[in-house]
Amino acid sequence: MAILSVNVNKIATLRNSRGGDVPNLIKVAIDLERFGAQGITIHPRPDERHIRYQDARDLKKVVQTELNIEGNPIESFIKLVDEVQPAQVTLVPDGPDALTSNAGWDTIKHQDFLTKMVNHFKDQGIRTSIFVDPVIEMIEGAARTGVDRIELYTEDFARMYPKDKDKAIAPYLKAVTRATELGLGINAGHDLSLENIKFFKEQIPDLIEVSIGHALISESIYLGLENVVNMYKAKLA
């Protein structure tokens, strides 16, 4: 069974949109674990437009499963991870103006930098993962950094899945085969959803962990709507 780590960025986005503390991010994380989540993922960005750096500190105090912090290892991010000491850090090459992650690392071009970052975090006992596209050369480059795991960027799979699921999964199968040969653990994330996650897991039995945020929160809004509407009706009766 692959571990489900829930990305709570969207909860923070909703909270920040009104400037208050509703929904309360910490309570949501606690409830998600109570509901069965096996990890909590956050992806703070320098402008703190959703997850704030203080959220990472607060979550560290309450998360009972695994806290995974994703992000571009700029100086402020490195300092945050050093302070919080999550179970896992996932290195993602997104720029400060990126709306969301849109590509994996070029692990050849940035190999020296990534190796330095991997060593820095592993020396503190933090499991490390590198966000990569399903490209053999990038998988091999990641392995040379000494990283523990890779996180496969799955947007291409999700986009192609409704049209041709076998074609969609093909490059990921090749990537996972090579990664396994190199001793890398396999994580995955980005646009995985209730529609496509079962097929992805069936095709990649060595999958260790998925990190899902946008789709899971969006699906929760719809699937929970009937209950919430009736709760409001009861209070307004």
Is 43 annotated as catalytic?
Answer: yes
Is 214 annotated as catalytic?
Answer: no
User: What backbone phi and psi angles, to 5 degrees, belong to 234?
Assistant: -65, -40
**Helix and strand element counts for the chain (H, E):** 11, 8
User: What backbone phi and psi angles, to 5 degrees, belong to 152?
Assistant: -75, 130
By the 8 A CB rule, do 81 and 72 touch?
Answer: no
State the pairing for strand pair 149-153/39-42: unpaired
Is 50 annotated as catalytic?
Answer: no
| Residue the block writes with tokens 């009937």 | 226
Q: Which of 50, 151, 190, 209 is catalytic?
A: 190
Q: Which of 33, 66, 70, 151 is catalytic?
A: 70
Rounded Cα gap, residues 167 and 165, in angstroms: 5
Q: Which of 33, 43, 151, 209 is catalytic?
A: 43
For residue 108, give the DSSP letter: T
Run of H or E including 32: helix 25-35
**Nearest one of 52, 5, 14, 9 to 32, comparing CA atoms:** 5
Q: Give catalytic residue positions.
A: 43, 70, 190
